[in-house]
Amino acid sequence: MYFFYTPLDQDSRLQLLQRHDANALFHLIDTNRAHLRRWLTWERQTQSAHDCEQFITSRLRITAENGGFTAALWHQEQLAGLIELQKISWIDRRSAIGYWLGKTFQGHGLMTAACRAVVDYGFDTLGLNRIEIEAAAGNKRSRAIPERLGFHQDGILRQYQQVNGHYLDLVVYSMLSAEWRASI
Ligand SMILES: CC(C)(COP(=O)(O)OP(=O)(O)OC[C@H]1O[C@@H](n2cnc3c(N)ncnc32)[C@H](O)[C@@H]1OP(=O)(O)O)[C@@H](O)C(=O)NCCC(=O)NCCS
């Protein structure tokens, strides 16, 4: 299993999510349910720190199998959110980023910086060729991140997700390794 640790600035860092983060993760989810429920579907299944520990174990297993990783975003020693590089296809050298932040950690550029670091890692260290970010069409804050980072909008998957009883269109963004290098 590789070790993922990246400072973002003097107050913030990304670090591979570990089992001992389960209590902090549960606290963050439990205090952000309405905020997360708006766009994500898994929050209702997370009812205890034990559920979080099981989630972390499953993610560590994926990491051990070289399928991607889940990192904790720490800001001023508080867990602020998660970012994942997931669904790695080594044949196609392609992967996708997913993320979320606690409500009070929004608005400071933390997740944009985290995405930049994960994209750097995906292209430079893992040798990927394409990284995707998907966001619900109406999720302006989420869509702003790939747009801020110069991702290309590939298209819209119509009624792709069901959240809170509504089908949501999903916007697919991508960045290619050559484009990222040219933009630096
Ligand atoms: C999606 C989500 C992570 C976006 O959070 P965010 O705080 O808007 O994103 P960032 O941390 O990159 O911060 C960007 C904001 O900080 C501001 N900012 C301040 N300094 C900045 C900097 N140096 N760089 C970039 N942005 C900066 C930006 O202007 C922007 O604020 P604005 O929207 O008011 O203009 C968050 O809204 C969230 O978790 N939502 C719920 C779950 C969810 O939707 N997940 C995504 C599913 S696809």
- The response to whether residue 110 sits with its C-beta less than 6 Å from ligand 1 reads yes
| CATH no. for 5-183 | 3.40.630.30
Dump the DSSP string for 26-69: HHHHHTSHHHHHTT-SSGGG--SHHHHHHHHHHHHHHHHTTS-E
| pLDDT band per the 50, 70, 90 thresholds, residue 4 | confident
Tens of pLDDT along 50-107?
A: 999 999 999 999 999 999 999 999 999 999 999 999 999 999 999 999 999 999 999 9
| Pocket test residue of 8, 9, 41, 101 for ligand 1, highest count of atoms within 8 A of CB | 101
Mean pLDDT value across residues 103-119: 98
- How many CB atoms are closer than 10 A to CB 73? 26
| pLDDT band per the 50, 70, 90 thresholds, residue 138 | very high
Q: Which amino acid is at 13?
A: R
- As a whole number of angstroms, the distance between CA 70 and CA 25 comes to 12
Residues 6 or more apart in contact with residue 97 via CB below 8 angstroms: 83, 84, 85, 86, 115, 118, 119, 122, 131, 132, 133
Mean pLDDT value across residues 13-36: 97
| pLDDT band per the 50, 70, 90 thresholds, residue 163 | very high
Task: Find the 101 Cα to ligand 1 centroid distance in Å.
Answer: 8
Ligand 1 atom index nearest CA of 136: 48
Point out the least confidently predicted range of 36-45, 100-109, 148-157.
36-45
Delimit the domains of the chain by residue range.
5-183
Task: Find the 144 Cα to ligand 1 centroid distance in Å.
Answer: 7
- The response to whether residue 163 sits with its C-beta less than 6 Å from ligand 1 reads no
Q: Which two tokens stand for residue 102?
A: 């606690």
- Say if CB 56 and CB 18 are below 8 A apart: yes
What's this model's pTM, rounded to 2 decimal places?
A: 0.97
- The response to whether residue 145 sits with its C-beta less than 6 Å from ligand 1 reads yes
Confidence at residue 2, expressed as pLDDT on a 0 to 100 scale: 58
Mean pLDDT of the chain: 96
Ligand 1 atom index nearest CA of 81: 39
- As a whole number of angstroms, the distance between CA 83 and CA 105 comes to 14
State the sign of the Cα–Cα–Cα–Cα dihedral 121, 125, 128, 129: positive
Q: What percent of the chain has pLDDT over 70?
A: 98
- The response to whether residue 99 sits with its C-beta less than 6 Å from ligand 1 reads yes
Confidence at residue 184, expressed as pLDDT on a 0 to 100 scale: 79
